[in-house]
Amino acid sequence: MVAERIARIGLFKQVLCITHLPQIACMADTQFYIDKYTEDEHTVTRIKKLVAGEQLNEIARMASGSDISAASLENAMEMLNNAKMKKGKLKRELT
């Protein structure tokens, strides 16, 4: 329900949401991966816009951890497909 409410707001406003939950991330129109690490005693933050295949892998990783399996990829694909259907339904209802 939280993801659907964020998507509903996103139809009218720009929404920036930082999450570790795949259920929320799969509703994103655009997904970024943020990586923070230390290099030569400096903190470095990297931000990368994910393309479709990368988004699928990231949703699978968020749901199952670093060991991405065929089952976790299938689950991630189902989540993304369901999110696409829900967002389409929201758009039709509100426009």
Task: State pLDDT tens for residues 68-89.
Answer: 999 999 999 999 999 999 999 9
Q: Report the pLDDT value the prediction gives residue 94, as an integer from 0 to 100.
A: 83
Task: State pLDDT tens for residues 18-47.
Answer: 999 999 999 999 999 999 999 999 999 999
The DSSP annotation for 20-47 comes to S-HHHHTT-SS-EEEEEEEETTEEEEEE
Q: Report the pLDDT value the prediction gives residue 67, as an integer from 0 to 100.
A: 87
Q: Report the pLDDT value the prediction gives residue 70, as an integer from 0 to 100.
A: 95
Is the pLDDT at 95 greater than 80, yes or no?
no
Average of per-residue pLDDT values in the chain: 94
Reported pTM: 0.85
d(CA 48, CA 89): 29
Q: Report the pLDDT value the prediction gives residue 66, as an integer from 0 to 100.
A: 84
d(CA 90, CA 63): 25
